[in-house]
Amino acid sequence: MADSDRGRDVFAFDAGGVAVTALSDGTVEASLGLLRGIPQSDAARLIELAGRPVPPRIAVNCFAVHLPEGIVLVDTGAGATMGPGLGRLPASLGKAGIAPRDVIAVLLTHAHPDHSNGLTDAAGNAIFPHADLIVHRNEVSYWFDDERMAQASPRKRENNFIAVRRQFAPYAERLRTFDAERVFSAIEPVALHGHTPGHTGYLVGDGPGRVLIWGDIVHIPAVQIPRPDVTVAVDEDTAAAVATRQRLLARAADAGLIVAGMHIDFPGLVRIGRAGGTFDFQPIPAPAAGQD
């Protein structure tokens, strides 16, 4: 599947005839307290069974889709806002030979800070000066709702509502929203609402080998793929997030669909399978010996 592998920050692959580059924004150590609906001891056991460290390290990935019109970037990472382990997207773009000015559109899966805070630099300037900002309309209506913001906790008000408005501001004249329609012929939006009201995946390519970029369907895959009932503290609608995850895992397993996740170990590509009445996953490509 891979066309090239440039270390642990850049990975180029084909998605149904469309060239895509996985780009690492880095990793961040997470607490098992992020999880809801499972004892921490059970979560730790599942992570250890998958050969992963406890406490878990969560990857943050972005994807550049190479279209005839230009480069469409799916998500932008955390920028310089979430610690030294993140914010590597600009360096990863450089390794991939992609200049920010070459990005014609930023397509967000949703507007949480580890996906949209890489839109601007520390001075609040747009990092992608020629890009349209494209996002599901529910994200805009939710995060720009003044009444909802007033009811939020101070932390959520600052880290989510205010942050989104700050990040979107330089793109105001180039902000485009959608509902169910395609915004590019080779990229089909897939409604995956629950984690946020406008959380959206993107099916890239045509025919065999298509890849579904599924955003935040899982945060800790070793737990939430075999236990899709497990949620995370930052889910906006936990019941909807669970229903969406269960539905999508079944679809991916039954269709043999390759998925790309923002929080799956880089390069974020897996196949979903069924095992023991639930689901499992196989990384693509398989990790090199000794890889974390």
The dihedral sign for the CA sequence 230, 163, 183, 148: positive
| pLDDT less than 50: residues of the chain | 1-5, 289-292
Burial of 238 (0-12, 13-18, 19+ CB in 10 A): middle
CATH number of 2-283: 3.60.15.10
Where do we find the tokens 């970037």?
Answer: 73
Where do we find the tokens 């924004």?
Answer: 25
Note the pLDDT of residue 208: 84
Close Cβ partners of 48 (under 8 Å, ≥ 6 residues apart): 54
For the chain, the residue count is 292
Close Cβ partners of 170 (under 8 Å, ≥ 6 residues apart): 119, 120, 124, 125, 126
Asked whether 33 and 54 are in contact (CB, 8 A), the reply is no
Note the pLDDT of residue 78: 97
Give the residue from 160, 61, 177, 65 showing the smallest Cα distance to 117. Answer: 160
Helix (H, G, I), strand (E, B) or coil at 220: coil
pLDDT tens-digit profile of 22-73? 999 999 999 999 999 999 999 999 999 999 999 999 999 999 999 999 999 9
The token pair that represents 198 in the structure block: 């406008």
Sort strands 258-261 and 211-215 into parallel, antiparallel or unpaired: parallel
Give the residue from 275, 292, 272 showing the smallest Cα distance to 284. Answer: 272
Close Cβ partners of 279 (under 8 Å, ≥ 6 residues apart): 225, 226, 228, 249, 250, 253, 272, 273
Sort strands 269-275 and 258-261 into parallel, antiparallel or unpaired: antiparallel
Euclidean distance between CA atoms 187 and 145, whole angstroms: 29
The answer, as to whether pTM is greater than 0.85, is yes
Note the pLDDT of residue 177: 98
Where do we find the tokens 């230009």?
Answer: 70
Helix (H, G, I), strand (E, B) or coil at 138: helix
Asked whether 261 and 215 are in contact (CB, 8 A), the reply is yes
Q: Where are the domains of the chain?
A: 2-283
Helix boundaries (H) for 6-159: 40-49, 89-95, 113-116, 137-143, 146-151, 154-156
Q: Can you say how many angstroms the Cα of residue 149 is from the centroid of all Cα atoms in its chain?
A: 24
pLDDT tens-digit profile of 255-274? 999 999 999 999 999 999 99
